[in-house]
Amino acid sequence: MTAGRPAATTARQETDDTPVCPQCGNAGLMSARFPHIWHGHTGQPVRGFKEAVLCAACDDGEGTAAELSALIDAQGAVRPEDVETFILLAGAWIDNARRRAPDSTALAEQERRWHLGEL
């Protein structure tokens, strides 16, 4: 939290648009959706989208994400004087998300659970 910032006095209002953290299932602070290309089993490129969710709990301690989280107040707003910094950090956070590769172990576990009907 930035020094001098007043403490939040109300809980953040969750809506249908509130992103859900895929790691912990709690409400995320924000999400970004961006184009993504991968190669299917035939080797042909497949175009789709990838989504990243910023979560105060799961991203705590990850440099850019932690700085970005600190700029978002309990209502999900950014103070006007922080908007420029927010935009720069959001761009860096999305760049990091684009480069992040899926965890193959977690993916295999989710596939196993999906085949068992647990997901």
Among 20, 27, 32, 58, binds Zn ion (CB under 5 A): 58
Q: Is 87 in the site for Zn ion (CB under 5 A)?
A: no
Q: Is 77 in the site for Zn ion (CB under 5 A)?
A: no
Q: Is 85 in the site for Zn ion (CB under 5 A)?
A: no
Q: Is 24 in the site for Zn ion (CB under 5 A)?
A: yes
Q: Is 106 in the site for Zn ion (CB under 5 A)?
A: no
The 3-class SS string of the chain reads CCCCCCCCCCCCCCCCCCCECCCCCCECCEEEEEEEEEECCCCCEEEEEEEEEECCCCCCCCHHHHHHHHHECCCCCECHHHHHHHHHHHHHHHHHHHHCCCCHHHHHHHHHHHHCCCC
Q: Which residues bind Zn ion (CB under 5 A)?
A: 21, 23-24, 55, 57-58
